[in-house]
Structure 1
């Protein structure tokens, strides 16, 4: 099955509950090995799914554990040796344990790839292929993604066979429950603008996204200096530090969590009132993932973006992807200073671009051949586009 749905729509329950039900309907010997394997791109998301399995499979007698990198292997190895029915893992740590002969996957009945689009973004494709290579041919495979980039088609073609396509929402759409707006502001005034925005009492719990790990640390430090309780999470933080920051954020001890894209993938915290894009993402699809942290499970939310002159092309890419214009906030203390940022270079219409001075024919042929070769090389495989399709609105 190929499922496409935004974050916060209940995908975890949608695949865990049926898997648990089928495993209980078809009992297996205690030493059968792993029967269900769930791969996720981040430690936080793996831990979150593990918590949900603990709730959904309570009193079932099924054993589950979570393995991921960034922590010692000893406890994970002990859990695996004790026996596991449902295994949640990140690709890197799973491949490491497979190489040591500590994980048996030859009897896996259910294989789930969660957040497959982010798996590709983070370069996990080789590890995924190694895992798929040892799985039995007869299995049920479920692939879930919040967006549907062209690059996902070859992966789907490799792991799925005649899949049922289910789209719970429009691909790469932003939920209507999220009120989106953008502030045009010079880069050097973003810090003051962030403090201004966080001064609104309506911002009860916020995630601030930065493009880099260093930027996350810097923003969190600057907020703390301004007496705003904030913590940063990113891949360079120790796992215990990240979990502690998430716990404090969830419990309300920290009002603002500053995060990078990958670190925020496992955040499932209710009551997030605002998502603030301090830096616009390079990849427009990351915008959809970011703002999906708010307005979860049918609630309302607000997504605010700070856009400098150098980021205006990114904003246009986001608007093309979500197929709507993001309203611009006109009245804010730094609105008149946006001219300090370099304006985005407007793109010429295709007709105007074609009316350029004539070039020698040999140079024209060389320039025309290169885009054609690039397009043919980048064309995605269509093998995964077959199968059945169902849409849930």
Structure 2
């Protein structure tokens, strides 16, 4: 894939060519007034060679390296420092351009394209500082040049950062689209084959009864699990490392577990998604162990903007008063570590509502 900021580098190359031609014209115009004309032309020759090198380097992705940009800045400032040896006092008095003129702005633009707005602004400020040291006086024109140099580097750097982020998001969107299309294709294939067979086995086994009914129940559970798998939203993450919580929860649905999630994405840090999924798994595991074989569970995910609410409820017999404390005292740390501990690590809140014959409901709140 092409470098997302390749267009900025092409602009940098074009700027280098135009500014060199301007510097060359400046040397021709002021040649007769220079104190050391030979040194001026030597500087122009170095500028020509370095321009040719950077044009070749910046035109290729492999040549856009930090050391080249740093060398570009050092050489530009170094050639600029020859101006007091080349120019006369009268030329400084009449504000004749330094030997590098606007050619020296190239490193600020290159630094912005490579490293972003901070690098571009710092490089522009460095060139402006070098201009001040060679002019040896502070003026409105000098301050204007420094602001323009730093501003140009900052703006190019901002455009570079934005282009890179946009390229990552576009690639992510294309991957998600491809994953969704493949999921839909597989879903059609599974629906036309495996799901129909499982549904047939479940129906026929129920009709026959006995051991066949047990097989029918297993087939029904696998049918529900497979439907949940193909219906789950594709896993998705952002540049900042956030992930959608919904797919991980949707995969937990079975014939006895119903999962309800919003239609829109519920983005959280990827680590938080893993921890919250583990909390739900532990809660459902407790339902399976303690609520009885016929108990059902419901998982509800709500996105309230500044917080995410996740609840797990079952219709089992409930937890007797003092049972959790005694289990923890006996060294069984499932609830204490797998649920409470994870929620505390996420800096969320955990609320338990239960009682004899009332079922159990865990409610987790995690703030964004």
TM-score range, shorter chain: under 0.3
The structure in which a higher percent of residues are helix is 2
The structure in which a higher percent of residues are strand is 1
Task: Answer with 1 or 2: which has the greater Rg.
Answer: 2
Q: Which has the higher contact order (CA 8 A, sep 6+)?
A: 1
TM-score with structure 1 length normalisation?
0.24
TM-score with structure 2 length normalisation?
0.25
